[in-house]
Amino acid sequence: MNLLDKKKFFENKKDELEKLLSSPDLISNQQRYQSTAKDHAATAKILYSYEDYEKCLDELESNKQMLKETPDSETEFLSVINEDILNLQEKIDFLEKDIIQRILPKGEDEGRNLIVEIRAGTGGDEASLFASEIYRMYCKFAEKNDLIIESLESSESGMGGLKEIIFSVKGNDAFEKFRFESGTHRVQRVPVTESSGRIHTSAITVAILPEPKDVEVDINPNDIRIDTFRASGCGGQSVNTMDSAVRIIHLPTKTMVSCQDEKSQHKNKVKAMRILKARVLEKKRKEDADKRSQARKNQVGSGDRSEKIRTYNFPQNRFTDHRINLSLYSLDNILDGHLEEAIMELSKALYEKLMADNVLSSQ
Protein backbone atom coordinates (compact mmCIF):
# COMPACT_ATOMS: atom_id res chain seq x y z
CA MET A 1 0.00 0.00 0.00
CA ASN A 2 1.68 3.24 -1.16
CA LEU A 3 -0.35 6.30 -0.25
CA LEU A 4 1.95 8.59 -2.21
CA ASP A 5 0.70 7.02 -5.45
CA LYS A 6 -2.66 8.67 -4.77
CA LYS A 7 -1.37 12.19 -4.09
CA LYS A 8 -1.50 13.18 -7.78
CA PHE A 9 -5.21 12.33 -7.91
CA PHE A 10 -5.97 14.86 -5.16
CA GLU A 11 -3.67 17.51 -6.67
CA ASN A 12 -5.61 17.28 -9.93
CA LYS A 13 -8.90 17.28 -8.05
CA LYS A 14 -7.95 20.45 -6.16
CA ASP A 15 -7.05 22.21 -9.42
CA GLU A 16 -10.37 21.22 -10.98
CA LEU A 17 -12.33 22.38 -7.94
CA GLU A 18 -10.53 25.75 -7.93
CA LYS A 19 -11.51 26.27 -11.57
CA LEU A 20 -15.11 25.41 -10.72
CA LEU A 21 -15.18 27.81 -7.77
CA SER A 22 -14.20 30.70 -10.06
CA SER A 23 -16.92 29.85 -12.58
CA PRO A 24 -19.76 32.46 -12.76
CA ASP A 25 -22.30 29.67 -13.35
CA LEU A 26 -21.36 27.98 -10.09
CA ILE A 27 -21.29 31.23 -8.09
CA SER A 28 -24.90 31.89 -9.11
CA ASN A 29 -25.95 28.51 -7.67
CA GLN A 30 -25.30 28.85 -3.92
CA GLN A 31 -26.16 25.26 -3.04
CA ARG A 32 -23.69 23.81 -5.58
CA TYR A 33 -21.12 26.46 -4.70
CA GLN A 34 -21.20 25.58 -0.98
CA SER A 35 -20.96 21.86 -1.75
CA THR A 36 -17.97 22.45 -4.07
CA ALA A 37 -16.29 24.74 -1.53
CA LYS A 38 -16.67 22.05 1.14
CA ASP A 39 -15.16 19.45 -1.22
CA HIS A 40 -12.28 21.83 -1.98
CA ALA A 41 -11.57 22.40 1.73
CA ALA A 42 -11.56 18.63 2.40
CA THR A 43 -9.20 18.03 -0.55
CA ALA A 44 -6.87 20.79 0.68
CA LYS A 45 -6.71 19.13 4.12
CA ILE A 46 -5.76 15.83 2.48
CA LEU A 47 -2.90 17.55 0.63
CA TYR A 48 -1.71 19.30 3.83
CA SER A 49 -1.50 15.88 5.47
CA TYR A 50 0.37 14.56 2.43
CA GLU A 51 2.91 17.40 2.75
CA ASP A 52 3.56 16.55 6.41
CA TYR A 53 3.72 12.86 5.50
CA GLU A 54 6.33 13.40 2.78
CA LYS A 55 8.36 15.72 5.01
CA CYS A 56 8.46 13.09 7.76
CA LEU A 57 9.44 10.37 5.29
CA ASP A 58 12.34 12.52 4.05
CA GLU A 59 13.47 13.24 7.62
CA LEU A 60 13.27 9.55 8.48
CA GLU A 61 15.43 8.60 5.48
CA SER A 62 17.93 11.31 6.39
CA ASN A 63 18.14 10.07 9.99
CA LYS A 64 18.60 6.47 8.88
CA GLN A 65 21.46 7.54 6.61
CA MET A 66 22.99 9.53 9.45
CA LEU A 67 22.73 6.47 11.67
CA LYS A 68 24.76 4.43 9.17
CA GLU A 69 27.45 7.10 8.91
CA THR A 70 27.84 7.76 12.64
CA PRO A 71 30.61 5.76 14.38
CA ASP A 72 29.64 3.46 17.25
CA SER A 73 31.74 5.54 19.64
CA GLU A 74 29.29 8.45 19.33
CA THR A 75 26.85 6.79 21.71
CA GLU A 76 25.09 9.95 22.87
CA PHE A 77 24.53 11.19 19.32
CA LEU A 78 23.34 7.73 18.22
CA SER A 79 20.83 7.72 21.05
CA VAL A 80 19.43 11.08 19.89
CA ILE A 81 19.16 9.82 16.29
CA ASN A 82 17.39 6.62 17.36
CA GLU A 83 14.93 8.60 19.46
CA ASP A 84 14.20 10.89 16.50
CA ILE A 85 13.65 7.84 14.28
CA LEU A 86 11.14 6.36 16.74
CA ASN A 87 9.27 9.69 16.99
CA LEU A 88 9.19 10.07 13.22
CA GLN A 89 7.91 6.52 12.73
CA GLU A 90 5.08 7.20 15.19
CA LYS A 91 4.20 10.44 13.40
CA ILE A 92 4.32 8.74 9.98
CA ASP A 93 2.02 5.98 11.24
CA PHE A 94 -0.44 8.58 12.55
CA LEU A 95 -0.35 10.66 9.35
CA GLU A 96 -0.81 7.54 7.23
CA LYS A 97 -3.98 6.64 9.14
CA ASP A 98 -5.16 10.25 9.06
CA ILE A 99 -4.82 10.36 5.26
CA ILE A 100 -6.62 7.02 4.94
CA GLN A 101 -9.53 8.30 7.03
CA ARG A 102 -9.81 11.36 4.81
CA ILE A 103 -9.63 9.53 1.45
CA LEU A 104 -12.01 6.68 2.22
CA PRO A 105 -15.09 6.80 -0.04
CA LYS A 106 -17.97 8.38 1.84
CA GLY A 107 -20.79 6.63 0.03
CA GLU A 108 -24.46 7.46 0.16
CA ASP A 109 -24.39 8.57 3.80
CA GLU A 110 -21.72 11.25 3.44
CA GLY A 111 -22.52 14.38 5.43
CA ARG A 112 -25.62 12.94 7.06
CA ASN A 113 -26.72 13.26 10.64
CA LEU A 114 -27.60 9.97 12.27
CA ILE A 115 -29.72 8.27 14.88
CA VAL A 116 -28.06 5.90 17.33
CA GLU A 117 -29.97 3.23 19.24
CA ILE A 118 -28.37 1.55 22.26
CA ARG A 119 -30.23 -1.35 23.89
CA ALA A 120 -29.31 -3.48 26.88
CA GLY A 121 -29.14 -7.17 25.98
CA THR A 122 -28.11 -10.19 28.02
CA GLY A 123 -27.02 -9.45 31.57
CA GLY A 124 -29.97 -7.70 33.20
CA ASP A 125 -29.05 -4.67 35.33
CA GLU A 126 -25.36 -5.04 34.48
CA ALA A 127 -26.15 -4.70 30.76
CA SER A 128 -28.23 -1.59 31.50
CA LEU A 129 -25.38 -0.03 33.46
CA PHE A 130 -22.99 -0.81 30.60
CA ALA A 131 -25.43 0.77 28.10
CA SER A 132 -25.31 4.01 30.12
CA GLU A 133 -21.48 3.91 30.10
CA ILE A 134 -21.35 3.45 26.32
CA TYR A 135 -23.81 6.35 25.93
CA ARG A 136 -21.53 8.48 28.11
CA MET A 137 -18.53 7.41 25.98
CA TYR A 138 -20.31 8.50 22.79
CA CYS A 139 -21.32 11.83 24.37
CA LYS A 140 -17.71 12.57 25.29
CA PHE A 141 -16.47 11.45 21.87
CA ALA A 142 -19.06 13.68 20.16
CA GLU A 143 -18.04 16.66 22.30
CA LYS A 144 -14.37 16.20 21.34
CA ASN A 145 -15.36 16.19 17.65
CA ASP A 146 -17.73 19.20 17.79
CA LEU A 147 -20.79 17.01 17.24
CA ILE A 148 -24.15 17.67 18.89
CA ILE A 149 -26.10 14.92 20.64
CA GLU A 150 -29.85 15.19 21.22
CA SER A 151 -31.68 12.58 23.28
CA LEU A 152 -34.84 11.35 21.54
CA GLU A 153 -36.08 8.55 23.78
CA SER A 154 -34.80 6.65 26.80
CA SER A 155 -35.86 4.00 29.28
CA GLU A 156 -34.06 3.66 32.61
CA SER A 157 -33.47 0.52 34.64
CA GLY A 158 -33.97 0.18 38.36
CA MET A 159 -30.28 0.70 39.19
CA GLY A 160 -29.90 3.90 37.19
CA GLY A 161 -28.73 2.24 33.98
CA LEU A 162 -30.39 2.44 30.59
CA LYS A 163 -32.57 -0.28 29.13
CA GLU A 164 -32.63 1.77 25.92
CA ILE A 165 -31.41 5.14 24.71
CA ILE A 166 -32.09 6.64 21.27
CA PHE A 167 -30.31 9.85 20.30
CA SER A 168 -29.36 11.87 17.25
CA VAL A 169 -25.86 13.03 16.33
CA LYS A 170 -25.48 16.19 14.25
CA GLY A 171 -22.46 17.89 12.75
CA ASN A 172 -19.73 17.61 10.12
CA ASP A 173 -18.76 14.00 9.42
CA ALA A 174 -21.16 12.65 12.07
CA PHE A 175 -21.86 9.47 10.14
CA GLU A 176 -18.21 8.98 9.26
CA LYS A 177 -17.20 9.21 12.93
CA PHE A 178 -19.78 6.60 14.01
CA ARG A 179 -19.77 4.36 10.92
CA PHE A 180 -18.04 1.42 12.66
CA GLU A 181 -20.18 1.28 15.83
CA SER A 182 -23.09 -0.97 14.76
CA GLY A 183 -23.12 -4.37 16.41
CA THR A 184 -23.01 -6.18 19.74
CA HIS A 185 -20.70 -4.77 22.41
CA ARG A 186 -19.75 -7.13 25.26
CA VAL A 187 -18.51 -6.19 28.72
CA GLN A 188 -16.51 -8.48 31.00
CA ARG A 189 -16.20 -7.42 34.64
CA VAL A 190 -17.32 -8.07 38.20
CA PRO A 191 -20.82 -6.56 38.52
CA VAL A 192 -21.64 -4.26 41.44
CA THR A 193 -24.27 -6.78 42.53
CA GLU A 194 -21.84 -9.74 42.53
CA SER A 195 -20.61 -10.53 46.05
CA SER A 196 -18.35 -13.48 45.16
CA GLY A 197 -16.13 -11.49 42.80
CA ARG A 198 -16.88 -13.56 39.69
CA ILE A 199 -16.42 -11.95 36.27
CA HIS A 200 -19.66 -11.79 34.28
CA THR A 201 -20.20 -11.19 30.57
CA SER A 202 -23.06 -8.91 29.53
CA ALA A 203 -23.94 -7.37 26.19
CA ILE A 204 -25.65 -4.42 24.56
CA THR A 205 -26.50 -3.70 20.92
CA VAL A 206 -25.78 -0.51 19.01
CA ALA A 207 -27.50 0.44 15.76
CA ILE A 208 -26.40 3.36 13.57
CA LEU A 209 -29.18 4.72 11.35
CA PRO A 210 -28.60 7.58 8.90
CA GLU A 211 -31.30 10.24 9.11
CA PRO A 212 -33.14 10.05 5.79
CA LYS A 213 -33.94 12.95 3.53
CA ASP A 214 -37.61 13.62 2.90
CA VAL A 215 -37.31 12.42 -0.71
CA GLU A 216 -35.96 9.05 0.48
CA VAL A 217 -38.72 8.16 2.92
CA ASP A 218 -42.16 9.49 2.20
CA ILE A 219 -44.49 8.45 5.00
CA ASN A 220 -48.09 8.45 3.79
CA PRO A 221 -50.39 9.64 6.63
CA ASN A 222 -52.80 6.84 5.67
CA ASP A 223 -50.04 4.28 6.34
CA ILE A 224 -49.51 5.18 9.99
CA ARG A 225 -51.49 4.80 13.18
CA ILE A 226 -50.85 7.29 15.98
CA ASP A 227 -51.80 6.46 19.57
CA THR A 228 -51.39 8.68 22.61
CA PHE A 229 -51.07 7.40 26.15
CA ARG A 230 -49.99 8.45 29.61
CA ALA A 231 -46.23 8.53 30.08
CA SER A 232 -44.66 6.33 32.73
CA GLY A 233 -41.62 6.82 34.91
CA CYS A 234 -39.98 10.03 36.09
CA GLY A 235 -40.52 13.37 34.45
CA GLY A 236 -42.64 15.54 36.69
CA GLN A 237 -46.34 15.64 37.47
CA SER A 238 -47.48 16.74 34.02
CA VAL A 239 -45.74 13.78 32.38
CA ASN A 240 -47.66 11.29 34.48
CA THR A 241 -51.09 12.96 34.38
CA MET A 242 -51.42 13.85 30.69
CA ASP A 243 -51.59 11.74 27.53
CA SER A 244 -48.30 13.21 26.29
CA ALA A 245 -46.65 9.97 25.17
CA VAL A 246 -46.93 9.05 21.49
CA ARG A 247 -46.80 5.69 19.71
CA ILE A 248 -46.60 5.58 15.90
CA ILE A 249 -47.01 2.39 13.89
CA HIS A 250 -46.04 2.25 10.23
CA LEU A 251 -48.53 -0.31 8.96
CA PRO A 252 -46.79 -1.45 5.71
CA THR A 253 -43.54 -2.35 7.52
CA LYS A 254 -45.05 -2.99 10.99
CA THR A 255 -42.46 -0.60 12.43
CA MET A 256 -43.40 0.82 15.82
CA VAL A 257 -41.88 3.78 17.68
CA SER A 258 -42.82 5.21 21.07
CA CYS A 259 -41.69 8.53 22.58
CA GLN A 260 -42.49 9.89 26.02
CA ASP A 261 -39.43 11.90 27.09
CA GLU A 262 -41.05 15.29 26.41
CA LYS A 263 -43.98 16.81 28.31
CA SER A 264 -45.40 18.02 24.99
CA GLN A 265 -47.34 15.53 22.88
CA HIS A 266 -46.35 17.48 19.75
CA LYS A 267 -42.62 17.27 20.57
CA ASN A 268 -42.90 13.54 21.25
CA LYS A 269 -44.64 13.09 17.89
CA VAL A 270 -41.90 14.98 16.03
CA LYS A 271 -39.17 12.88 17.67
CA ALA A 272 -41.08 9.64 17.04
CA MET A 273 -41.42 10.50 13.34
CA ARG A 274 -37.68 11.10 13.04
CA ILE A 275 -36.93 7.68 14.54
CA LEU A 276 -39.65 6.03 12.44
CA LYS A 277 -38.26 7.42 9.18
CA ALA A 278 -34.74 6.24 10.05
CA ARG A 279 -36.00 2.72 10.84
CA VAL A 280 -38.11 2.55 7.68
CA LEU A 281 -35.06 3.59 5.63
CA GLU A 282 -33.00 0.87 7.35
CA LYS A 283 -35.62 -1.76 6.45
CA LYS A 284 -35.74 -0.51 2.89
CA ARG A 285 -31.96 -0.80 2.62
CA LYS A 286 -31.99 -4.32 4.01
CA GLU A 287 -34.56 -5.32 1.40
CA ASP A 288 -32.19 -3.95 -1.25
CA ALA A 289 -29.20 -5.75 0.30
CA ASP A 290 -28.99 -8.41 -2.41
CA LYS A 291 -28.71 -5.70 -5.06
CA ARG A 292 -25.92 -4.11 -3.07
CA SER A 293 -23.97 -7.28 -2.35
CA GLN A 294 -20.67 -5.61 -3.34
CA ALA A 295 -21.25 -2.85 -0.77
CA ARG A 296 -21.79 -5.46 1.95
CA LYS A 297 -18.69 -7.35 0.83
CA ASN A 298 -16.59 -4.21 1.17
CA GLN A 299 -17.59 -3.49 4.76
CA VAL A 300 -15.38 -4.21 7.76
CA GLY A 301 -17.88 -6.49 9.46
CA SER A 302 -21.49 -6.82 8.42
CA GLY A 303 -22.72 -3.65 10.14
CA ASP A 304 -25.55 -5.72 11.60
CA ARG A 305 -26.45 -5.11 15.23
CA SER A 306 -26.36 -8.89 15.92
CA GLU A 307 -22.65 -9.16 15.01
CA LYS A 308 -20.30 -9.28 18.02
CA ILE A 309 -17.85 -6.49 17.27
CA ARG A 310 -16.21 -5.54 20.58
CA THR A 311 -15.29 -6.72 24.07
CA TYR A 312 -14.59 -4.30 26.93
CA ASN A 313 -12.60 -6.25 29.52
CA PHE A 314 -12.33 -4.25 32.76
CA PRO A 315 -9.96 -6.53 34.77
CA GLN A 316 -7.35 -6.28 31.97
CA ASN A 317 -8.23 -2.67 31.01
CA ARG A 318 -8.54 -4.16 27.50
CA PHE A 319 -10.58 -2.97 24.53
CA THR A 320 -10.81 -5.54 21.71
CA ASP A 321 -12.34 -5.01 18.27
CA HIS A 322 -12.92 -8.52 16.90
CA ARG A 323 -13.40 -7.40 13.28
CA ILE A 324 -9.72 -6.53 12.88
CA ASN A 325 -8.23 -8.40 15.88
CA LEU A 326 -7.27 -5.10 17.53
CA SER A 327 -6.54 -5.03 21.28
CA LEU A 328 -5.79 -1.78 23.10
CA TYR A 329 -4.90 -1.76 26.80
CA SER A 330 -6.36 1.67 27.46
CA LEU A 331 -10.02 0.90 28.16
CA ASP A 332 -10.33 3.65 30.78
CA ASN A 333 -9.14 6.22 28.25
CA ILE A 334 -11.44 4.90 25.51
CA LEU A 335 -14.49 5.00 27.80
CA ASP A 336 -13.60 8.64 28.42
CA GLY A 337 -14.37 9.31 24.75
CA HIS A 338 -10.99 8.65 23.10
CA LEU A 339 -12.09 6.39 20.23
CA GLU A 340 -9.75 7.92 17.66
CA GLU A 341 -7.13 5.16 17.59
CA ALA A 342 -9.72 2.41 17.13
CA ILE A 343 -11.46 4.35 14.34
CA MET A 344 -8.16 4.97 12.57
CA GLU A 345 -7.27 1.26 12.68
CA LEU A 346 -10.72 0.31 11.38
CA SER A 347 -10.42 2.90 8.61
CA LYS A 348 -7.03 1.47 7.65
CA ALA A 349 -8.46 -2.07 7.51
CA LEU A 350 -11.34 -0.87 5.34
CA TYR A 351 -8.92 0.97 3.02
CA GLU A 352 -6.77 -2.14 2.60
CA LYS A 353 -9.87 -4.22 1.84
CA LEU A 354 -11.07 -1.73 -0.76
CA MET A 355 -7.62 -1.66 -2.32
CA ALA A 356 -7.48 -5.46 -2.45
CA ASP A 357 -10.89 -5.51 -4.16
CA ASN A 358 -9.83 -2.75 -6.62
CA VAL A 359 -12.66 -0.51 -5.44
CA LEU A 360 -10.32 2.51 -5.18
CA SER A 361 -8.71 2.00 -8.58
CA SER A 362 -10.37 5.18 -9.94
CA GLN A 363 -8.46 7.33 -7.44
Among residues 163, 61, 64, 59, which one has the least CA distance to residue 117?
163
Selected from 3.30.160.20, 3.40.50.1580, 3.40.50.620, 3.90.25.10, the CATH number assigned to the domain covering 221-287 reads 3.30.160.20
**pLDDT tens for each residue of the chain, 363 residues long:** 578 888 999 999 999 999 988 888 887 888 888 888 888 998 999 999 999 999 999 999 999 999 999 888 888 999 999 999 999 999 999 999 889 888 887 767 777 889 999 999 988 889 999 999 999 999 999 999 999 999 999 988 878 899 999 999 998 888 889 989 999 999 999 887 676 778 889 999 999 998 887 667 888 889 999 998 887 754 444 445 567 889 999 999 899 999 988 888 889 999 999 999 999 888 888 777 655 555 555 556 655 566 899 999 999 999 999 999 999 999 999 999 999 999 999 998 988 888 877 666 555
Report the percent of the chain where pLDDT is more than 70. 88
Architecture of 111-215+293-356 per CATH? 2-Layer Sandwich (3.30)
Per residue in 143-164, pLDDT tens?
999 999 999 999 888 788 999 9
Main-chain phi, psi angles of 38, to 5 degrees: -65, -40
| Cα–Cα dist 358/119, whole Å | 37
